[in-house]
Structure 1
Amino acid sequence: MTRSDLSIWDQTQEAITFLTDSLPESLQKPQVAIVCGSGLSGLADTVQADPRVEYDYASIPHFPRPTVSGHAGKLVFGLLGQKVPAVFMVGRAHYYEGNSMDQVTFPIRVFKLLGVDTVILTNAAGGLNPDYNVGDIMLLNDASFLFPRKPLNETGLAGVHPLRGPNAEEFGVRFPPLSDAYDLDLRRHVHQTWKEIIPSQKTRKLHEGVYAFVGGPTYETRAESRMLRMLGADVVGMSTVPEIVVARHSGLRVLAFSLVTNNAVLDPVPRGDEQLLQDKDAGELNAILEKGKATHEEVLEAGRTAALDMQQLVTKIVVKAFGHQ
């Protein structure tokens, strides 16, 4: 449904016209947009049953469609905490699926013109920080694109900046700063709320840290994981940062969470001439290599087990920050 001859502004206007023509008045100006990452679609179930409106992405002009399992591809409008109008993206389109950065970040432009004030982004990520466990939640306070040189996997890690090309002046300035990208007041609310809802004896922890965006779709090699950790990254993933850049370009407040769904393998791969390996059979050697290997299935499973805590946390933050406005 995307026409290449239309500017980003015109494409966004067409999507807005479609949505506002069919939305009830009470849902036409959501205050908060929430992006549900891999395994976290249950966040959209926190809205009230009525009023509630859903759209398949395919029905919205120019909206990108995800092709990855765990990303349903629907936009849900409703009320959080009975009074805060919100819109949920149940799944996102990724750069590695063959989308352009303009397509990946298009929903954020739509949110801006809908009148959204704040975007809350969630994702599944690999843990690089050894203090992070599977099931922990990290609150983003910084992030980075990666453009490494050979001999590391140049194509797997490289990203294209979402603001590359002519500036969309209708949304923001040519050179937006990102040093203030992660709203400090909202992060303060997160820590306060976490203490209220998560028992101190619970093993799941809340961290703050740095997210490294990579292009994907391959999971990182051991050498890449060590490099990212040496550069200061705490988790690594294949989404979110382009959306954050465009959100800040558009003047939106940003809050972002990573759910640690697997631990990246940082140990160097064993050498083939190591003495301890010489008497092992093929199955034992394969088990050594597969130790800690990430799979998409475990990402989705970790999302399911953490879903209730994430739902409770996000809902209470939204109600606390916006429910009395």
Structure 2
Amino acid sequence: MIDIRKSSEQFKALCSHRPKICIELGSGQQAVINHATEFLGSDYQDISFSELKFPAAGQISGHKDIIRVWPEVAIICGRRHAYEGCDINDVAKPVRVFGLNGCQTFILLSASGSVVERIKPGTIVAIKDDYYEGDSPLRIPFREDLLEDEFIDPNPTYDPELSTLISETIAPRVIGKQLEQVRLGVIINRRSYEKPAEVLKAQMLRCSVVGISIPPQAEALIGLPRKLGIKIVGLSAVTNSHCQAHNGSNKCTATHQGVKNAADHITKHQLAPLVVATIKELLEQKVQI
């Protein structure tokens, strides 16, 4: 049993800021921190995962176990994964704590692999739906008194209005093109990339990209009380393609170093500017965040 309340109280004791926007980074996306700091300034506080009793995020390279908190924005600089032997409720703990402490807009980031020809590595997609085959953070032994209802209606998980604002208005202005809104598939829960049969399964489920993160965090958030007004957006940097696996090739072209390098490049040139522009838009327009 994890104690969300204790971590929430610890955050209140450690930090005077009460941000309304929370961003959780995926692998190789640390450039978002630099861009955000340049825009938001030096009025921030860095809090370690250990101070909030979160499981360390630094076990897989490309993640840091630090949270940078400004008055209006928090950036969770890394995440733990269930395939590392971590309980799924611990994986979800950081976003839940910030949801209970007043964050209303969550921008969840990840790296992913394309399983369709039209989506090429080097692009960003917005998540409109997901197929998630992993262990759910909505299961027992999560604190039932924190759930909205005995059974959660997950529709929509990802806020369509905010996703469309980013995809069709902000993205063309910042990176020169719209984002495609796609279904993300989490087909496996292990420390590897997908096998050809798993790629085929994702395609049969009409997923456009596959990955390991975003859906667990999103499921954790939709279970929190609706009165909190939480909105979720998922953005994924497409770092590699699995299309050849469906064509019968057994050649593995994906490596974690390659994924991190691709994610770093996409983040520096596209994702980080897009995230900062989204923060700016939300703050300027006083959108309910």
- Structure 2 partner of 1:234: 208
Structure 1 position 179 matched with structure 2 position 170 = no
* Pair member with larger Rg: 1
Structure 1 position 162 matched with structure 2 position 137 = yes
Percent identity of equivalent pairs: 24
Structure 1 position 198 matched with structure 2 position 175 = yes
Structure 1 position 320 matched with structure 2 position 281 = yes
Within 1, Cα distance between the matches of 2:165 and 2:104?
16
Relative distance call for 1:257 and 1:319 in structure 2 (3 A) is: same
The Cα of 1:116 is off from its aligned counterpart by 0.5
TM-score normalised by L of structure 2: 0.89
Contact 1:36–1:121 (Cα < 8 Å) also in 2: yes
Contact 1:186–1:321 (Cα < 8 Å) also in 2: no
What is the SS of the residue equivalent to 1:323? Answer: helix
Contact 2:67–2:76 (Cα < 8 Å) also in 1: yes
Runs of 4+ in 1 over 3 A off after TM superposition: 267-270
- Structure 2 partner of 1:74: 66
The Cα of 1:188 is off from its aligned counterpart by 2.1
- Structure 2 partner of 1:262: 240
Q: CA RMSD in A?
A: 1.7
Structure 1 position 106 matched with structure 2 position 79 = no
Within 1, Cα distance between the matches of 2:271 and 2:215?
20
Contact 2:170–2:274 (Cα < 8 Å) also in 1: yes
Greater mean deviation of Cα atoms: 96-105 or 303-312: 303-312
Contact 1:38–1:303 (Cα < 8 Å) also in 2: yes
Within 2, Cα distance between the matches of 1:192 and 1:49?
25
Within 2, Cα distance between the matches of 1:97 and 1:124?
17
What is the SS of the residue equivalent to 1:179? Answer: coil
Structure 1 position 64 matched with structure 2 position 55 = yes
The Cα of 1:13 is off from its aligned counterpart by 2.0
**Residues 46-83 of structure 1: CA distance to partner in whole angstroms, max 9, x if unpaired?**
1333211112212222x12121000111111025xxxx
When the two structures are aligned, how many residues end up with a matched partner? 273
Within 1, Cα distance between the matches of 2:272 and 2:23?
11
Letter matched to residue 263 of structure 1: S
The Cα of 1:268 is off from its aligned counterpart by 4.4
Within 2, Cα distance between the matches of 1:94 and 1:59?
19
Contact 2:114–2:208 (Cα < 8 Å) also in 1: yes
- Structure 2 partner of 1:221: 195
Within 2, Cα distance between the matches of 1:60 and 1:226?
40
Relative distance call for 1:296 and 1:171 in structure 2 (3 A) is: same
Within 1, Cα distance between the matches of 2:277 and 2:206?
31
Within 1, Cα distance between the matches of 2:176 and 2:184?
26
What is the SS of the residue equivalent to 1:50? Answer: coil
Within 2, Cα distance between the matches of 1:162 and 1:22?
26
- Structure 2 partner of 1:96: 83
Structure 1 position 139 matched with structure 2 position 135 = no
**Residues 62-108 of structure 1: CA distance to partner in whole angstroms, max 9, x if unpaired?**
x12121000111111025xxxxx111111100010001111111112
Letter matched to residue 71 of structure 1: H
Structure 1 gaps, min length 5: 1-6, 80-84, 147-158, 271-288
